[in-house]
Chains A and B, each alone.
Chain A
Amino acid sequence: MQTEASVAQPDVSELELVKQCQRGDSTAFDELVVRYRTRVFGMIYNMVHNEQDAWDLAQDSFVKAWKSIDRFRGKSSFYTWLYRIVINVTIDWLRKKQVKGGGTEFDDNVQLREIDPASKTVPRSEPLPHQRMERGEVRARIDQAIAQLSPEHRAVILMKETEDMQYHEIAEALGCSIGTVMSRLFYARKKLQNLLRDVYENV
């Protein structure tokens, strides 16, 4: 497992596939798609919570990758480069959806209490300790929790936890600093812990 101190070295055979793509070999690109389609789809699904949308966005991402394959210089791993495209495509889509009113307002605030002296505190109902949550219910709760993060915070937490990417790889994919990645991870984790505590304690 790579440490944060080391720089990712592109897989050699993958680099060769990319060079073939750059020479116009579409079958080499098909091979790259086979390698990454499931991870790309899974990543996007976690961002957008809709199978059809995730499918379309995954396709859009690969099309964009093919069209810009000449710009890959091998300075990072291919999948970091690909993820940059995936994240940009997905975040653009989420932002446009929000502008059109199709999504809920992202609220990245850690669960702090808004001071309103007139409101009563509504007790949160806790599941009984012996109850095990159904897989579908868990999925729904995770989707709801992730939906409350901004696209950038979603991307960071998913790239870290589900893709096991290093901080510098995430920073490169998102075009931000390592400090920003770590800061976003801090808040995303806090938020998800607050929202999913009863889920992970009961699963």
Chain B
Amino acid sequence: MRPRLLLLVAILSVALSSGGASLPEQTVWSGLIIATNSPPTEPTPAEVTQIEGALRKLFGYSQFQLIGEARKTLKTGEEDWLASSKYFSLHVDSRGEKADAYVLNLKLFQEQKLLLETKARLSKASPLIIRGPQVGDGQLVIVLIVQ
């Protein structure tokens, strides 16, 4: 029985790896960004670059500094912490997932204070942008993207 089982597993592995047709796991990228007009000190990550145009139009700032990010695979019913920085953190409670969207309950904390709570249906490649508080001469912006 074992040789037959091994043979089947081998066939399946070759078939699936050659085709690359296995369903990719969906991840949620989250970022805490300070939108500012000061010159950048670090290169902008790809996730921010892809929506930089939208961020400029929305907020009027020209530079976007990433102060915290996370990439997580979420499972329904599980809670986790997403992007966080020294003073801000984003908590998620995953309520459901479909082929191209997550239903998430999000909480933005400033240290121990709950600033904002939102429930969103986060669709694939449709970023959610949250305007946070003013920080210095910039603006905290929170971005979530299902990849």
Is any CB of A less than 8 Å from a CB of B in the complex? yes
Number of chain A residues close to chain B: CB under 8 A: 10
Q: Would you list 17 pairs from A and B whose C-beta atoms are within 8 A, ordered by A residue?
A: A108-B93, A108-B105, A109-B105, A109-B117, A109-B119, A110-B114, A110-B117, A112-B114, A112-B117, A150-B95, A152-B77, A176-B77, A176-B78, A180-B78, A180-B79, A183-B79, A184-B79
Q: How far is the CA of A152 from the CA of B79 in the complex (A)?
A: 11
Chain B residues within CB distance 8 Å of chain A: 77-79, 93, 95, 105, 114, 117, 119
Known: A108-B105, A150-B95, A184-B79. 4 other contacts (CB 8 A): A109-B105, A109-B119, A110-B117, A180-B79
Query: Which residue in chain A gives the minimum CB-CB distance to B75?
Result: A176
Cβ of B105: which chain A residues have Cβ within 8 Å of it?
Answer: 108-109
Q: How far is the CA of A180 from the CA of B79 in the complex (A)?
A: 6
Chain A residues within CB distance 8 Å of chain B: 108-110, 112, 150, 152, 176, 180, 183-184
Interface of A is mostly: loop
Query: Which residue in chain A gives the minimum CB-CB distance to B91?
Result: A183
Cβ of A150: which chain B residues have Cβ within 8 Å of it?
Answer: 95
Cβ of A110: which chain B residues have Cβ within 8 Å of it?
Answer: 114, 117
Cβ of B78: which chain A residues have Cβ within 8 Å of it?
Answer: 176, 180
Query: Which residue in chain A gives the minimum CB-CB distance to B119?
Result: A109
Cβ of A112: which chain B residues have Cβ within 8 Å of it?
Answer: 114, 117
Q: How far is the CA of A152 from the CA of B78 in the complex (A)?
A: 10
Cβ of A108: which chain B residues have Cβ within 8 Å of it?
Answer: 93, 105
Min CB–CB distance A121 → chain B (angstroms)? 20
Q: How far is the CA of A110 from the CA of B114 in the complex (A)?
A: 10
Q: How far is the CA of A183 from the CA of B95 in the complex (A)?
A: 15
Q: How far is the CA of A108 from the CA of B105 in the complex (A)?
A: 9
Q: How far is the CA of A39 from the CA of B79 in the complex (A)?
A: 28
Cβ of A152: which chain B residues have Cβ within 8 Å of it?
Answer: 77
Query: Which residue in chain B gives the minimum CB-CB distance to A183?
Result: B79
Cβ of A109: which chain B residues have Cβ within 8 Å of it?
Answer: 105, 117, 119
Min CB–CB distance A46 → chain B (angstroms)? 19
Cβ of A176: which chain B residues have Cβ within 8 Å of it?
Answer: 77-78
Q: How far is the CA of A16 from the CA of B79 in the complex (A)?
A: 37
Min CB–CB distance A89 → chain B (angstroms)? 15
Min CB–CB distance A109 → chain B (angstroms)? 6
Cβ of B119: which chain A residues have Cβ within 8 Å of it?
Answer: 109
Q: How far is the CA of A184 from the CA of B77 in the complex (A)?
A: 11
Cβ of B95: which chain A residues have Cβ within 8 Å of it?
Answer: 150
